[in-house]
């Protein structure tokens, strides 16, 4: 029996065979990067787009998009002795969780989070295999590392799957 490993906000976990998951992903982004050659997979529960300059926390390596992407890539490459050509990304979340009236006076942090993750992946030459962002529904995101499959269940119970 394989384990299901929950990823809390700001956290990152890695596995070869288990199922990584983020529950209640609203404006946050569940970012999964997988080494297609070895199957080694990491998932981060990204909360905000960028860390303040000079700010760093070992307790929350996935809190900010810039930290999460760097941590995931570095750890996957070191552990598997491979190149970025072996990596693929799966991105879900970035919903607009506030009513339109409130959103007009505030930033759409979900959209900003998703766009920042996308740009960082492009900057690192990581192929994005799955992109399910936006909307107004929170999601639960699960990635089966052994099979290389993602499952996204939205609050309205629609499920999107991608291998």
Q: For residue 47, give the H/E element and its range.
A: none
Residues 6+ apart with CB under 8 A from 96: 27, 103, 108, 110, 111, 134, 135, 136
Is 28 a residue of the active site? yes
Q: How many CB atoms lie within 10 A of CB 150?
A: 24
Q: Rounded to the nearest 5 degrees, what angle is found at the Cα of 113, between the Cα atoms of 109 and 118?
A: 150
Catalytic, out of 22, 28, 105, 106: 28
Burial of 117 (0-12, 13-18, 19+ CB in 10 A): buried
Question: At what angle are helices 109-123 and 65-80 packed, to 10 degrees?
Answer: 40
Rounded to an integer, what distance in angstroms lies between the CA atom of residue 137 and that of residue 84?
32
By annotation, the residues acting in catalysis are 28
């Amino acid at each position: 029996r394989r384990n299901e490993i929950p990823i809390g906000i700001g956290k990152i976990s890695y596995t070869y065979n288990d199922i990584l998951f983020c529950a209640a992903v609203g404006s946050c982004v569940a970012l999964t990067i997988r080494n297609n050659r070895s199957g080694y997979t990491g998932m981060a529960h990204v909360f905000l787009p960028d860390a303040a300059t000079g700010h760093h926390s070992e307790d929350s390596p996935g809190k900010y998009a810039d930290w999460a992407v760097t941590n995931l890539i570095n750890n996957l490459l070191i552990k598997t002795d491979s190149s970025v050509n072996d990596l693929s990304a799966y991105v879900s979340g970035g919903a607009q969780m506030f009513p339109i009236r409130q959103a007009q006076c505030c930033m759409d942090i979900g959209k900003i989070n998703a766009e920042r993750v996308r740009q960082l992946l492009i900057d690192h030459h990581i192929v994005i295999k799955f992109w399910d962002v936006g909307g107004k529904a929170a999601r639960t995101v699960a990635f089966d590392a052994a099979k290389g499959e993602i499952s996204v269940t939205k609050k309205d119970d629609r499920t999107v799957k991608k291998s």
